[in-house]
Chain A
Amino acid sequence: MFTNVSSLETRLDKISVQRKIIFTCSAAAILFFIKNPIVMFSIFAALLIIYFSVGGFKFLWVGLYQLKVTIPFIIILAFWHLYLDQLDRGVTLIFRLISAFLIANLFILTSKIHDIILAIQKYSFYLKNFGINPHAVSITIGLFIRSIPILKQRAKNLMLAQSARSTKRSFWRISVPLAISVLDDADHVSEALRARGGIRKKED
Protein backbone atom coordinates (compact mmCIF):
# COMPACT_ATOMS: atom_id res chain seq x y z
CA MET A 1 0.00 0.00 0.00
CA PHE A 2 2.79 2.41 0.87
CA THR A 3 5.10 2.09 -2.07
CA ASN A 4 6.57 4.71 -4.32
CA VAL A 5 4.43 4.33 -7.44
CA SER A 6 7.31 4.97 -9.82
CA SER A 7 10.53 2.99 -9.68
CA LEU A 8 12.08 5.42 -12.16
CA GLU A 9 14.74 7.73 -10.75
CA THR A 10 14.21 11.33 -11.82
CA ARG A 11 15.87 14.65 -11.19
CA LEU A 12 12.93 15.68 -8.99
CA ASP A 13 13.73 12.85 -6.54
CA LYS A 14 16.67 14.90 -5.28
CA ILE A 15 14.55 17.96 -4.42
CA SER A 16 13.42 18.11 -0.78
CA VAL A 17 9.89 16.87 0.00
CA GLN A 18 9.10 20.13 1.83
CA ARG A 19 9.76 22.19 -1.31
CA LYS A 20 7.71 19.79 -3.41
CA ILE A 21 4.77 19.96 -0.95
CA ILE A 22 4.81 23.78 -1.11
CA PHE A 23 4.98 23.70 -4.92
CA THR A 24 2.20 21.09 -5.21
CA CYS A 25 -0.20 22.93 -2.88
CA SER A 26 0.49 26.35 -4.46
CA ALA A 27 0.16 25.06 -8.04
CA ALA A 28 -3.08 23.19 -7.26
CA ALA A 29 -4.51 26.30 -5.56
CA ILE A 30 -3.64 28.51 -8.57
CA LEU A 31 -5.49 26.10 -10.89
CA PHE A 32 -8.79 26.97 -9.20
CA PHE A 33 -8.49 30.63 -10.22
CA ILE A 34 -8.00 29.91 -13.93
CA LYS A 35 -11.24 30.16 -15.91
CA ASN A 36 -9.86 30.32 -19.47
CA PRO A 37 -9.87 26.96 -21.31
CA ILE A 38 -6.88 27.90 -23.48
CA VAL A 39 -4.77 28.83 -20.45
CA MET A 40 -5.85 25.61 -18.72
CA PHE A 41 -4.95 23.53 -21.77
CA SER A 42 -1.57 25.29 -21.94
CA ILE A 43 -0.89 24.32 -18.32
CA PHE A 44 -1.81 20.73 -19.12
CA ALA A 45 0.56 20.74 -22.12
CA ALA A 46 3.31 22.31 -19.99
CA LEU A 47 2.87 19.57 -17.39
CA LEU A 48 3.26 16.89 -20.06
CA ILE A 49 6.48 18.56 -21.16
CA ILE A 50 7.69 18.67 -17.54
CA TYR A 51 6.95 14.94 -17.12
CA PHE A 52 8.83 14.17 -20.34
CA SER A 53 11.81 16.37 -19.52
CA VAL A 54 12.04 14.99 -15.97
CA GLY A 55 11.96 11.27 -16.71
CA GLY A 56 11.52 10.72 -20.43
CA PHE A 57 8.76 8.88 -22.25
CA LYS A 58 8.50 6.11 -19.60
CA PHE A 59 7.86 8.60 -16.81
CA LEU A 60 5.32 10.46 -18.95
CA TRP A 61 3.52 7.17 -19.57
CA VAL A 62 3.50 6.35 -15.82
CA GLY A 63 2.03 9.80 -15.13
CA LEU A 64 -0.65 9.42 -17.78
CA TYR A 65 -1.49 5.90 -16.59
CA GLN A 66 -2.16 7.29 -13.10
CA LEU A 67 -4.93 9.40 -14.61
CA LYS A 68 -7.12 6.36 -15.22
CA VAL A 69 -9.01 7.03 -11.95
CA THR A 70 -10.29 10.29 -13.44
CA ILE A 71 -11.77 8.72 -16.61
CA PRO A 72 -15.36 8.15 -15.33
CA PHE A 73 -15.54 11.72 -14.04
CA ILE A 74 -14.09 13.15 -17.28
CA ILE A 75 -16.75 11.29 -19.31
CA ILE A 76 -19.53 12.64 -17.07
CA LEU A 77 -18.12 16.18 -17.26
CA ALA A 78 -17.87 15.98 -21.03
CA PHE A 79 -21.42 14.71 -21.56
CA TRP A 80 -22.87 17.05 -18.95
CA HIS A 81 -21.34 20.18 -20.52
CA LEU A 82 -22.19 19.06 -24.04
CA TYR A 83 -25.78 18.67 -22.85
CA LEU A 84 -25.69 22.18 -21.31
CA ASP A 85 -23.91 23.54 -24.39
CA GLN A 86 -21.15 25.00 -22.15
CA LEU A 87 -18.13 23.65 -23.96
CA ASP A 88 -15.66 26.28 -22.65
CA ARG A 89 -16.55 25.56 -19.03
CA GLY A 90 -16.41 21.79 -19.60
CA VAL A 91 -12.95 21.98 -21.20
CA THR A 92 -11.70 24.17 -18.33
CA LEU A 93 -13.03 21.78 -15.67
CA ILE A 94 -11.65 18.68 -17.42
CA PHE A 95 -8.17 20.12 -17.89
CA ARG A 96 -8.21 21.52 -14.35
CA LEU A 97 -8.95 18.04 -13.03
CA ILE A 98 -6.28 16.38 -15.19
CA SER A 99 -3.70 19.07 -14.38
CA ALA A 100 -4.39 18.87 -10.63
CA PHE A 101 -3.87 15.10 -10.73
CA LEU A 102 -0.72 15.47 -12.84
CA ILE A 103 0.73 17.99 -10.35
CA ALA A 104 -0.16 15.80 -7.34
CA ASN A 105 1.18 12.67 -9.04
CA LEU A 106 4.41 14.44 -9.97
CA PHE A 107 4.99 14.89 -6.23
CA ILE A 108 3.90 11.36 -5.30
CA LEU A 109 5.90 9.69 -8.08
CA THR A 110 9.11 11.50 -7.17
CA SER A 111 8.88 11.29 -3.35
CA LYS A 112 9.41 8.29 -1.13
CA ILE A 113 6.60 7.75 1.38
CA HIS A 114 9.25 7.53 4.13
CA ASP A 115 10.49 11.04 3.22
CA ILE A 116 6.93 12.41 3.17
CA ILE A 117 6.30 11.01 6.67
CA LEU A 118 9.60 12.45 7.94
CA ALA A 119 8.71 15.87 6.49
CA ILE A 120 5.24 15.79 8.12
CA GLN A 121 6.78 14.78 11.45
CA LYS A 122 9.42 17.50 11.19
CA TYR A 123 6.88 20.23 10.42
CA SER A 124 4.39 18.96 12.99
CA PHE A 125 6.68 20.57 15.61
CA TYR A 126 5.44 23.99 14.46
CA LEU A 127 1.96 22.91 15.64
CA LYS A 128 3.01 23.72 19.22
CA ASN A 129 2.35 27.38 18.28
CA PHE A 130 -1.31 26.42 17.89
CA GLY A 131 -1.48 24.60 21.22
CA ILE A 132 -1.11 21.14 19.68
CA ASN A 133 1.36 18.70 21.19
CA PRO A 134 3.87 17.94 18.39
CA HIS A 135 5.13 14.76 20.11
CA ALA A 136 1.60 13.38 20.16
CA VAL A 137 1.20 14.17 16.44
CA SER A 138 4.54 12.56 15.66
CA ILE A 139 3.69 9.38 17.58
CA THR A 140 0.21 9.26 16.03
CA ILE A 141 1.69 9.40 12.52
CA GLY A 142 4.13 6.58 13.32
CA LEU A 143 1.39 4.43 14.85
CA PHE A 144 -0.95 5.10 11.95
CA ILE A 145 1.58 4.02 9.33
CA ARG A 146 2.54 0.92 11.32
CA SER A 147 -1.08 -0.06 11.99
CA ILE A 148 -2.29 -0.20 8.38
CA PRO A 149 -0.47 -3.41 7.32
CA ILE A 150 -1.31 -4.99 10.71
CA LEU A 151 -5.02 -4.26 10.37
CA LYS A 152 -4.97 -5.33 6.73
CA GLN A 153 -3.45 -8.68 7.71
CA ARG A 154 -5.91 -9.06 10.58
CA ALA A 155 -8.86 -8.45 8.25
CA LYS A 156 -7.45 -11.16 5.96
CA ASN A 157 -7.09 -13.58 8.88
CA LEU A 158 -10.63 -12.88 10.03
CA MET A 159 -11.87 -13.48 6.47
CA LEU A 160 -10.04 -16.83 6.46
CA ALA A 161 -11.54 -17.77 9.82
CA GLN A 162 -14.96 -16.77 8.52
CA SER A 163 -14.53 -18.81 5.34
CA ALA A 164 -13.86 -21.89 7.51
CA ARG A 165 -17.35 -21.46 8.97
CA SER A 166 -19.27 -20.35 5.91
CA THR A 167 -18.90 -20.41 2.14
CA LYS A 168 -20.28 -16.86 1.97
CA ARG A 169 -17.61 -14.17 1.88
CA SER A 170 -19.12 -11.08 3.41
CA PHE A 171 -17.23 -8.19 4.91
CA TRP A 172 -19.92 -7.27 7.43
CA ARG A 173 -19.46 -10.57 9.30
CA ILE A 174 -15.88 -9.67 10.23
CA SER A 175 -16.57 -6.00 10.99
CA VAL A 176 -17.46 -6.53 14.67
CA PRO A 177 -14.36 -8.61 15.58
CA LEU A 178 -12.18 -6.23 13.54
CA ALA A 179 -13.52 -3.16 15.37
CA ILE A 180 -13.17 -4.84 18.79
CA SER A 181 -9.61 -5.91 17.96
CA VAL A 182 -8.78 -2.26 17.13
CA LEU A 183 -10.07 -1.20 20.56
CA ASP A 184 -8.02 -3.99 22.18
CA ASP A 185 -4.93 -2.79 20.34
CA ALA A 186 -5.60 0.75 21.53
CA ASP A 187 -5.60 -0.46 25.16
CA HIS A 188 -2.40 -2.49 24.77
CA VAL A 189 -0.45 0.11 22.80
CA SER A 190 -1.41 3.01 25.07
CA GLU A 191 -0.39 0.95 28.13
CA ALA A 192 2.93 0.14 26.44
CA LEU A 193 3.45 3.83 25.60
CA ARG A 194 2.80 4.85 29.20
CA ALA A 195 5.14 2.11 30.45
CA ARG A 196 7.90 3.58 28.28
CA GLY A 197 7.49 7.09 29.65
CA GLY A 198 4.46 8.19 27.64
CA ILE A 199 4.12 11.17 25.35
CA ARG A 200 6.04 14.26 26.40
CA LYS A 201 4.06 17.27 27.50
CA LYS A 202 3.84 20.34 25.24
CA GLU A 203 6.20 22.46 27.30
CA ASP A 204 8.99 19.83 27.31
Chain B
Amino acid sequence: MIEKTSVLIALFAALIAVLGLVPAFPLASGVPITAQSLGVMLCGTVLGSKKGGLATLFFVILTLLGLPLLAGGRGGVGLLAGASAGFIIGFPMAAFITGWLMEKTSSVDIHISVSLSSIVGGIVVLYIPGLIGMMINAGMSLNAAIVAVAVYLPGDILKVILVTIVTSAIFKARPNSIFARS
Protein backbone atom coordinates (compact mmCIF):
# COMPACT_ATOMS: atom_id res chain seq x y z
CA MET B 1 0.00 0.00 0.00
CA ILE B 2 3.04 2.28 -0.12
CA GLU B 3 1.97 3.27 -3.66
CA LYS B 4 -1.44 4.46 -2.48
CA THR B 5 0.09 6.38 0.43
CA SER B 6 2.67 8.09 -1.82
CA VAL B 7 0.02 9.02 -4.38
CA LEU B 8 -2.36 10.39 -1.73
CA ILE B 9 0.42 12.48 -0.19
CA ALA B 10 1.44 13.84 -3.60
CA LEU B 11 -2.11 14.61 -4.74
CA PHE B 12 -3.24 16.26 -1.52
CA ALA B 13 -0.05 18.33 -1.39
CA ALA B 14 -0.84 19.36 -4.98
CA LEU B 15 -4.39 20.19 -3.90
CA ILE B 16 -3.01 22.59 -1.26
CA ALA B 17 -0.85 24.19 -3.96
CA VAL B 18 -3.83 24.55 -6.33
CA LEU B 19 -5.90 26.13 -3.54
CA GLY B 20 -3.21 28.82 -3.47
CA LEU B 21 -4.45 29.88 -6.90
CA VAL B 22 -7.80 30.90 -5.42
CA PRO B 23 -7.37 34.69 -5.12
CA ALA B 24 -5.98 35.64 -1.71
CA PHE B 25 -7.08 38.68 0.26
CA PRO B 26 -4.04 40.60 1.49
CA LEU B 27 -4.50 42.08 4.96
CA ALA B 28 -2.61 44.80 6.75
CA SER B 29 -0.95 42.31 9.11
CA GLY B 30 0.99 40.89 6.15
CA VAL B 31 -0.61 37.43 6.40
CA PRO B 32 -3.10 37.07 3.50
CA ILE B 33 -6.40 35.17 3.78
CA THR B 34 -5.91 32.17 1.48
CA ALA B 35 -7.73 28.92 0.75
CA GLN B 36 -4.58 26.92 1.52
CA SER B 37 -5.41 26.46 5.20
CA LEU B 38 -8.63 24.89 3.91
CA GLY B 39 -6.47 22.32 2.11
CA VAL B 40 -4.52 21.71 5.32
CA MET B 41 -7.75 20.99 7.24
CA LEU B 42 -8.94 18.76 4.39
CA CYS B 43 -5.68 16.77 4.50
CA GLY B 44 -6.33 16.02 8.17
CA THR B 45 -10.03 15.20 7.90
CA VAL B 46 -9.71 13.00 4.80
CA LEU B 47 -6.25 11.43 5.07
CA GLY B 48 -5.95 11.18 8.85
CA SER B 49 -3.06 12.17 11.10
CA LYS B 50 -0.03 10.47 9.51
CA LYS B 51 -0.83 10.81 5.80
CA GLY B 52 -2.37 14.27 6.27
CA GLY B 53 0.58 15.50 8.29
CA LEU B 54 3.05 14.07 5.76
CA ALA B 55 1.22 15.62 2.77
CA THR B 56 1.35 19.01 4.44
CA LEU B 57 4.96 18.58 5.58
CA PHE B 58 5.90 17.64 2.01
CA PHE B 59 4.20 20.81 0.74
CA VAL B 60 5.93 23.00 3.34
CA ILE B 61 9.41 21.53 2.67
CA LEU B 62 9.11 22.04 -1.10
CA THR B 63 7.83 25.59 -0.53
CA LEU B 64 10.72 26.46 1.78
CA LEU B 65 13.19 24.96 -0.70
CA GLY B 66 12.07 27.55 -3.23
CA LEU B 67 9.07 26.30 -5.18
CA PRO B 68 6.54 29.15 -5.60
CA LEU B 69 3.65 27.18 -4.11
CA LEU B 70 2.12 29.58 -1.60
CA ALA B 71 -0.68 31.96 -2.56
CA GLY B 72 0.68 34.79 -4.71
CA GLY B 73 3.52 32.60 -6.01
CA ARG B 74 5.55 32.89 -2.81
CA GLY B 75 8.23 30.39 -1.86
CA GLY B 76 11.72 30.12 -0.45
CA VAL B 77 13.41 30.15 2.90
CA GLY B 78 12.83 33.92 3.11
CA LEU B 79 9.26 33.14 4.16
CA LEU B 80 10.67 32.21 7.57
CA ALA B 81 11.42 35.89 8.16
CA GLY B 82 7.91 36.99 7.22
CA ALA B 83 4.65 37.34 9.10
CA SER B 84 3.33 34.01 7.77
CA ALA B 85 6.32 32.00 9.07
CA GLY B 86 4.54 30.54 12.10
CA PHE B 87 1.48 29.62 10.08
CA ILE B 88 3.58 27.89 7.40
CA ILE B 89 5.55 25.91 10.00
CA GLY B 90 2.27 25.13 11.78
CA PHE B 91 0.61 23.61 8.68
CA PRO B 92 1.89 20.02 9.26
CA MET B 93 1.04 20.18 12.98
CA ALA B 94 -2.45 21.48 12.18
CA ALA B 95 -3.08 18.69 9.65
CA PHE B 96 -1.70 16.05 12.03
CA ILE B 97 -3.84 17.15 14.99
CA THR B 98 -6.93 17.52 12.77
CA GLY B 99 -6.42 13.96 11.52
CA TRP B 100 -5.65 12.63 14.98
CA LEU B 101 -8.87 14.12 16.39
CA MET B 102 -10.81 12.70 13.42
CA GLU B 103 -9.45 9.26 14.27
CA LYS B 104 -10.25 9.66 17.98
CA THR B 105 -13.83 10.80 17.25
CA SER B 106 -14.53 8.18 14.57
CA SER B 107 -17.58 6.92 16.46
CA VAL B 108 -19.15 10.39 16.63
CA ASP B 109 -21.41 11.87 13.91
CA ILE B 110 -19.22 12.93 10.94
CA HIS B 111 -20.38 16.57 10.98
CA ILE B 112 -19.49 17.00 14.66
CA SER B 113 -16.26 15.07 14.26
CA VAL B 114 -15.05 17.14 11.27
CA SER B 115 -16.12 20.48 12.76
CA LEU B 116 -14.46 19.77 16.11
CA SER B 117 -11.26 18.42 14.52
CA SER B 118 -10.99 21.34 12.09
CA ILE B 119 -11.59 23.96 14.78
CA VAL B 120 -9.02 22.46 17.15
CA GLY B 121 -6.47 21.41 14.50
CA GLY B 122 -6.98 23.99 11.76
CA ILE B 123 -7.57 27.01 13.99
CA VAL B 124 -6.33 26.53 17.58
CA VAL B 125 -3.22 24.45 16.76
CA LEU B 126 -2.40 26.53 13.67
CA TYR B 127 -2.75 29.83 15.49
CA ILE B 128 -0.26 28.90 18.24
CA PRO B 129 2.84 28.81 15.97
CA GLY B 130 1.24 31.59 13.90
CA LEU B 131 1.13 33.86 16.96
CA ILE B 132 4.67 32.87 17.98
CA GLY B 133 5.87 33.66 14.44
CA MET B 134 4.25 37.09 14.51
CA MET B 135 5.71 37.79 17.95
CA ILE B 136 9.23 36.86 16.81
CA ASN B 137 9.21 38.31 13.29
CA ALA B 138 7.13 41.42 13.98
CA GLY B 139 8.28 42.00 17.54
CA MET B 140 4.66 42.13 18.69
CA SER B 141 3.41 41.44 22.20
CA LEU B 142 1.08 38.45 22.65
CA ASN B 143 -1.98 40.69 23.00
CA ALA B 144 -1.12 42.67 19.87
CA ALA B 145 -0.54 39.44 17.91
CA ILE B 146 -3.91 38.06 19.09
CA VAL B 147 -5.64 41.25 17.92
CA ALA B 148 -3.81 41.00 14.57
CA VAL B 149 -4.88 37.40 13.94
CA ALA B 150 -8.45 37.92 15.20
CA VAL B 151 -9.45 39.24 11.75
CA TYR B 152 -8.77 35.79 10.27
CA LEU B 153 -11.23 34.02 12.57
CA PRO B 154 -14.43 34.67 10.54
CA GLY B 155 -12.71 33.38 7.38
CA ASP B 156 -11.42 30.33 9.22
CA ILE B 157 -14.89 29.57 10.61
CA LEU B 158 -16.17 29.63 7.01
CA LYS B 159 -13.36 27.24 6.04
CA VAL B 160 -14.38 24.87 8.85
CA ILE B 161 -17.96 24.89 7.51
CA LEU B 162 -16.69 24.19 3.98
CA VAL B 163 -14.39 21.38 5.17
CA THR B 164 -17.36 19.86 7.04
CA ILE B 165 -19.51 20.01 3.88
CA VAL B 166 -16.78 18.52 1.66
CA THR B 167 -15.70 15.77 4.08
CA SER B 168 -19.30 14.79 4.87
CA ALA B 169 -20.11 14.65 1.13
CA ILE B 170 -17.10 12.40 0.50
CA PHE B 171 -18.06 10.23 3.47
CA LYS B 172 -21.61 9.91 2.15
CA ALA B 173 -20.46 9.02 -1.37
CA ARG B 174 -17.41 6.93 -0.48
CA PRO B 175 -17.09 6.08 3.21
CA ASN B 176 -13.83 4.17 2.65
CA SER B 177 -12.17 7.26 1.20
CA ILE B 178 -12.17 8.99 4.58
CA PHE B 179 -8.96 7.33 5.76
CA ALA B 180 -9.24 8.99 9.16
CA ARG B 181 -12.29 6.77 9.77
CA SER B 182 -11.32 3.57 8.05
Contacts and interface: CB of A to CB of B under 8 A. Distances in A.
B130 to A, nearest CB: 14
Nearest first, the 7 closest Cβ-Cβ pairs linking A and B are: A73-B30, A104-B76, A104-B78, A100-B81, A143-B10, A147-B14, A101-B78
B119 to A, nearest CB: 18
Interface in B74-123: 74-83
Interface residues of A, number: 69
B145 to A, nearest CB: 11
Given A101-B78, A104-B79, A198-B2, A183 B138 contact: no
A61 interface: no
Interface of A: 1-2, 5, 21, 24-25, 28, 31-32, 69-70, 72-73, 75-77, 80-81, 84, 86, 89-90, 93, 96-97, 99-105, 107-108, 111, 113, 116, 120, 133, 136, 139-144, 147-148, 151-152, 155, 171-172, 175-176, 178-180, 182-183, 185-187, 189-190, 193-194, 198-199
A133 to B, nearest CB: 7
A148 B18 contact: yes
For chain B, give the interface size range: 35 or more
Q: Is the interface of B mostly helix, strand, loop or mixed?
A: helix
B174 A183 contact: yes
Contacts of B177: 180, 183
Contacts of B76: 24, 101, 104-105, 107-108
Contact of B139 (A89, A120, A144, A199): A89
Nearest to A172: B162
B67 interface: yes
Interface string B155-182: 0000000100110011001100100000
